[in-house]
């Protein structure tokens, strides 16, 4: 009830990601909606639990921040900060990156991966579409 759900931003295996507005502050956030009906096995439930625990641990400028977890009867809502921009795939497709831009972006990704590895976290789906680039890169 504290969030006004807006447009769909993307879709994942267990549900979708939508843009939302935190009503009290008017802050834009991204909400990953995990439909409990799609969590058919113990492994599915453990995977979501592991994702939430990992997100709770991470505090890094190049990693999406988990703001809130809402456990409702039919879905789990993961509220994160919203990054206005594009994914790295779209950026590369539309814009020829210069060497310095490429080095800068790669160092940002590498910094995040090293941080996760130092926490004992392995990201198993690193790909261009999962790397968000804000409008200020």
102 HSE (CA, 13 A, CB side): 7
Positive/negative CA dihedral, 45, 7, 80, 118: positive
Cα Rg of the chain (Å, integer): 16
Residue 137 confidence class, pLDDT cut points 50, 70, 90 = confident
- In this prediction, residue 6 carries a pLDDT of 97
Q: In whole angstroms, what is the distance from residue 89 CA to residue 102 CA?
A: 13
**pLDDT given at position 15:** 86
Where does the pLDDT of residue 12 fall: very low under 50, low under 70, confident under 90, or very high at 90 and above? Answer: confident
Q: Which residue has the higher pLDDT, 14 or 8?
A: 8
Q: What six digits make up the tokens of 27? A: 């802050």
- Residue-level pLDDT at 81: 96
Q: Which long-range contacts (CB under 8 A, 24 or more apart) does 14-22 make?
A: 14/38, 14/39, 14/44, 14/48, 15/75, 19/82, 20/79, 22/79
Distance separating alpha carbons of residues 28 and 30, to the nearest angstrom: 7
Beta bridge partners of 73: none
Q: Which residues are catalytic?
A: 125
């Amino acid at each position: 009830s504290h969030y006004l759900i807006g447009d769909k931003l993307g879709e994942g295996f267990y549900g979708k990601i939508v843009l939302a507005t935190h009503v009290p502050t008017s802050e834009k956030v991204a909400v990953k909606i995990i439909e409990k009906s799609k969590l058919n096995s113990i492994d599915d439930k453990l995977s979501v639990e592991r994702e939430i625990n990992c997100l709770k641990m991470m505090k890094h400028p190049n990693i999406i921040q988990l703001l809130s977890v809402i456990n409702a009867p039919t879905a789990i809502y993961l509220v994160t900060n919203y990054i206005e921009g594009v994914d790295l795939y779209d950026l590369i497709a539309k814009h020829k990156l210069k060497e310095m831009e490429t080095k800068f972006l790669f160092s940002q990704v590498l910094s995040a991966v090293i941080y996760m590895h130092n926490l004992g976290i392995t990201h198993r789906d690193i790909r261009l579409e999962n790397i968000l680039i804000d409008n200020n890169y």
